[in-house]
A and B are shown apart, each in its own frame.
Chain A
Amino acid sequence: MNLDIRWPLGLLFGVIGVLLFGYGMATSAAAPGAPWWSNIDAWWGGVLVAFGALMLILAGRAR
C-alpha cells in the first residue's frame, strides 16, 4: 500500500486546525476584553496546524 498515511493525517488536522484557529480568532474579536488564554479554539487550532505540518513534513521527507 503506497499511500503514506501521514499525507491524509497532515491534511485533515491541518485543515481542521486552520478552521479552528480562524473561528477562534473571529469569535475573540467579537468578544474583546476576554483574557488571551481563554481563546482555546485559536490555541488548539494552532496545535493542530503544527501537528498537521509535522505529518506533512515527515511524509515529504520519506518520499
Chain B
Amino acid sequence: MGGAIHLKGIDWLILGIYFLFVLSIGIVLRRRIRSSEDFFLSGRSIPAWIAGLAFLSANLGAQEVIGMAASGAKYGMATSHFYWVGAIPAMVFLALFMMVFYYGSHARSVPEYLRLRFDEKTRGFNAISFCAMTVMSSGISMYAMGLLLSLLLGWDFSLSMWLCAGIVLVYILLGGLTSAIYNEVVQFFLIVFGFAPLVMLGLHDVGGWSGLRAGLQRVALAHGYGAGAWSESWAYLGSPALNPMGVEWFGLVMGLGFVLSFGYWCTDFLTIQRAMAAESLSAARRAPLIATLPKMLFPFLVILPGMIAVALTQGAGAAAFTLPNKPDGSPNFDLVIPTMLGHYFPNGLLGLGLTALIASFMSGMAGNVTAFNTVWTNDIYQPYLRPGAGDRHYLWMGRVATVGGVLLSLAAAYLASAFNNIMDVLQLVFAFINAPLFATFLLGMFWRGANGNGAFCGLLAGTLAAALHHGMTLPAHAPVGVKGGWLAIVHLYPSEMAQNFWTAIFAWTSCFVVTLIVSLAGRPPPPGSLVGLVRSETPRIDVSASPFWRRPGVLAVLAIAAVVALNVLFF
C-alpha cells in the first residue's frame, strides 16, 4: 500500500488553480510570438534573474527531487556532492568561460555552435543524439509521474500522463520557450514553498540538527560504518569501504566533479537554452551564476528530508511513519517524499506539496520538449530536410515539432512501462554519448587547432571508450548485463557509482587525446574563420563599465567561496 494520501477539496482547488494558471500564461504570451526566434529563444529578451532561475529549474525535475531524497536516505550528507562538487564549479566555468562563445557566436543551439566551430557531421552527431535522448528523458519523467500518481492517489496511469502532457503541449504551442521559462520559475517557487515546511516539520520531529546527527549516527553504526558516515560529506571518502556510497574522493572529484558535471552543465542544451534566451551577453553570463545560489542551498530542501526519514525510521525507536518496502524487503527510499508529505502535511499544504511535485514533472517535460523542438527544427529539419524556407515555415515546423515531441515522449513513457530493461540500455547508451562531450567543447573553445575531423573522431572514440569500459567492468555483486561486464570482467568496482565515475573519466580522456591527435594530423581551420567561436579569436569582454555586483568574475568568486564554506562546514 502506498502512502496514505487523501486529498480534499482544498487540495484539488490548489492543483486546479495551478493548471489554469500555466495555461493562462501561455495565452497571454501568445501575442508575443512573431518569429521563430521568439518561439525557440524567447527573442533573446529574458532578464538575468529569470534566465538563472529557469536554468536551475530546467534541471530540477521531480525525479531529482524524489531521487535526491532517496539518496539522502541511502548515502547521507555525501549526497550533497551532487550539488556542491557536481554542479557549482561547472556552472561557474560555463558562465565565466563558455557562455561568451555560445551567446556571442549567435548560435541558436549547442549543436549549431558545433556546426559553426567544427563542421556539419559533428553538429549532426550531437543534434541527433540530443533529440533522441531528450525525448527519452521526457518519456521516463512522464512514466515516473504516472506511476507515482497512480501509486499515491490511485489516479489512472494513462489519464494523468495525457492530462499533464496535454497541458504542457498547449502552453508551449501558445507561448514557446517563454511559456516554458515562466512556468519553470513558478515551479521553482512552488518547490521552495512546497518543501520548506516539510523540512521544518521533519527537523522539529527528529529533534533539530543535533537530534538528526544522533539518529544518523545510530544508522551509520548499525550499518557497520563510522559514526559520522551519514552526516559528514568528505571525512569518510578515504576509501570506498568507509562510506555507504562506495566511492573514494579522487574518483568522485574527477568523475563526478569534473567529467560528468562539466559534461552536463557545460554542454547540455536543455539548461544552456535558458541562458541563450537572455537579453544580453552580460545577462547570459550572469544567469548560471545567479543559479548557483539556490542550487547550493537546495540540499537543505531535497536531501535533508531523506536524511530525516532514515534517522527517524532506522535510527531511533518506532517512528510515527514507516516507509513502504520494495519487493525484496528493503525500504523503498524513492517514496520518502510522498510518505513524508502524507504524514506531516495537513490538507491544504498537502495540495501545495502535491502541486509542487506535479509542476516539477510537467516542467521537466516542457523543458525537454522546448529543447527538442529547437534542435529538431534548427539542426535537423532546416539543414538536412528543408533548407532555405522562410522564417514563418520554420516557426510552423517548431509548433509541429512540439506536438511531435510530446507524442514521442508519451510513446517513450509507454515503452518504459512495458520494457524497463530497454530503457535502462538506452539510458546507458546516452550516458556513453554524453561522457566525452565536454572534452570536445573544451578543445573547441580554447584551442583553435581543433578541427572538424578531430572533433568527430574524438566524440566517436570517447563514446566507444565509454562502452568498452562499461563492458569490461562490473560493480561488485551486480549481475552481468546492463550493469556491465558484458564483454569480459577485467575489473570489479566497489559500487555502481564508482563505475560510472571511472567510465566518464576514460571516455573524456579518450575523446581528448583522439581529438588532439586527429586535429594535429590534419589542418587547422583558416585564420580568422573562428571569430567569436574560440578564445584566441574573440576579443576579451570589458566589464569595467559594469557595477561590481554585475561582473561575472565577482559573482563567480562569491559562489566558489560560498560552496567551499559549505563543504568545510559539513566536512
Is the A/B pair a real complex?
Answer: yes
Measured CB to CB, the residues of A under 8 A from B are 1-3, 5, 8-9, 11-13, 15-16, 19-20, 23-24, 27, 40-41, 44-45, 47-48, 51
Measured CB to CB, the residues of B under 8 A from A are 10, 13-14, 17-18, 21, 24-25, 28-29, 32, 42-43, 45-46, 50, 178, 182, 185-186, 189, 193, 197, 201, 345-349, 352
- Report the minimum CB–CB distance from A29 to chain B (whole Å): 14
Contact indicator A8/B182 (Cβ below 8 Å): yes
Give the 10 A-B residue pairs with the shortest CB-CB distance, closest first.
A41-B348, A23-B348, A23-B10, A1-B45, A20-B348, A1-B178, A12-B21, A5-B182, A1-B32, A41-B349
Contact indicator B10/A1 (Cβ below 8 Å): no
- Report the minimum CB–CB distance from B379 to chain A (whole Å): 24
Contact indicator A13/B178 (Cβ below 8 Å): no
A16 and B347 alpha carbons, distance in the complex (Å): 13
Contact indicator A16/B189 (Cβ below 8 Å): no
Q: Which of B13, B50, B349 contacts A5 (CB 8 A)?
A: B50
Given contact pairs A1-B32, A41-B349, A19 touches B193 in the complex (Cβ within 8 A)? no
- Chain B residues lying within 8 Å of A20, measured Cβ to Cβ, are 10, 14, 348-349, 352
- Chain A residues lying within 8 Å of B347, measured Cβ to Cβ, are 23, 27, 41
Contact indicator A9/B193 (Cβ below 8 Å): no
Q: Which of B182, B185, B349 contacts A44 (CB 8 A)?
A: B349
Given contact pairs A8-B182, A12-B17, A1 touches B29 in the complex (Cβ within 8 A)? yes
- Report the minimum CB–CB distance from B18 to chain A (whole Å): 7
Contact indicator B193/A51 (Cβ below 8 Å): yes
A13 and B189 alpha carbons, distance in the complex (Å): 9
* Sampled A-B contacts (8; CB under 8 Å): A1-B43, A3-B29, A20-B10, A20-B348, A41-B346, A41-B348, A45-B348, A51-B189
- Chain A residues lying within 8 Å of B349, measured Cβ to Cβ, are 20, 40-41, 44
What residue in chain A is nearest B277 (Cβ atoms)?
A1
- Chain B residues lying within 8 Å of A23, measured Cβ to Cβ, are 10, 347-348
Given contact pairs A13-B193, A41-B349, A47-B193, A19 touches B42 in the complex (Cβ within 8 A)? no
- Chain A residues lying within 8 Å of B18, measured Cβ to Cβ, are 12
What residue in chain A is nearest B14 (Cβ atoms)?
A16
- Chain B residues lying within 8 Å of A40, measured Cβ to Cβ, are 197, 201, 345-346, 349
Q: Which of B13, B186, B201 contacts A8 (CB 8 A)?
A: B186
- Chain B residues lying within 8 Å of A51, measured Cβ to Cβ, are 189, 193
Given contact pairs A15-B17, A41-B349, A5 touches B185 in the complex (Cβ within 8 A)? yes
- Chain B residues lying within 8 Å of A2, measured Cβ to Cβ, are 32
> B21, B189, B347, B348 — which one has the most chain A CB atoms within 10 A of its CB?
B348
- Report the minimum CB–CB distance from A44 to chain B (whole Å): 6
- Report the minimum CB–CB distance from B395 to chain A (whole Å): 16
> B32, B185, B186, B346 — which one has the most chain A CB atoms within 10 A of its CB?
B346
What residue in chain A is nearest B13 (Cβ atoms)?
A19
What residue in chain B is nearest A12 (Cβ atoms)?
B21
A41 and B345 alpha carbons, distance in the complex (Å): 9
What residue in chain A is nearest B201 (Cβ atoms)?
A40
- Report the minimum CB–CB distance from A59 to chain B (whole Å): 12
A19 and B16 alpha carbons, distance in the complex (Å): 13
Q: Which of B24, B46, B197 contacts A1 (CB 8 A)?
A: B46
A34 and B348 alpha carbons, distance in the complex (Å): 17
> B28, B185, B352 — which one has the most chain A CB atoms within 10 A of its CB?
B352
A9 and B185 alpha carbons, distance in the complex (Å): 9
- Chain A residues lying within 8 Å of B182, measured Cβ to Cβ, are 3, 5, 8
- Report the minimum CB–CB distance from A37 to chain B (whole Å): 10
Contact indicator A1/B346 (Cβ below 8 Å): no
A20-B10, A41-B348 are known; give 6 further A-B pairs, CB within 8 A: A1-B32, A19-B10, A20-B348, A23-B347, A24-B348, A45-B348
Q: Which of B17, B178, B201 contacts A16 (CB 8 A)?
A: B17
- Chain A residues lying within 8 Å of B189, measured Cβ to Cβ, are 9, 13, 51
- Chain B residues lying within 8 Å of A19, measured Cβ to Cβ, are 10, 13-14, 17, 348
- Report the minimum CB–CB distance from B349 to chain A (whole Å): 6
Contact indicator A27/B346 (Cβ below 8 Å): yes
Contact indicator A16/B352 (Cβ below 8 Å): yes
- Report the minimum CB–CB distance from A30 to chain B (whole Å): 12
A2 and B43 alpha carbons, distance in the complex (Å): 11
What residue in chain A is nearest B345 (Cβ atoms)?
A40
- Report the minimum CB–CB distance from B111 to chain A (whole Å): 25
- Report the minimum CB–CB distance from A10 to chain B (whole Å): 11
- Report the minimum CB–CB distance from A45 to chain B (whole Å): 8
- Report the minimum CB–CB distance from A50 to chain B (whole Å): 11
- Chain B residues lying within 8 Å of A3, measured Cβ to Cβ, are 25, 28-29, 32, 182
What residue in chain A is nearest B185 (Cβ atoms)?
A5
Contact indicator A44/B197 (Cβ below 8 Å): yes
- Chain A residues lying within 8 Å of B25, measured Cβ to Cβ, are 3, 8
- Chain A residues lying within 8 Å of B29, measured Cβ to Cβ, are 1, 3
- Report the minimum CB–CB distance from A26 to chain B (whole Å): 9
Given contact pairs A16-B352, A41-B349, A9 touches B14 in the complex (Cβ within 8 A)? no
What residue in chain A is nearest B348 (Cβ atoms)?
A41
A15 and B21 alpha carbons, distance in the complex (Å): 11
> A1, A19, A44, A51 — which one has the most chain B CB atoms within 10 A of its CB?
A1
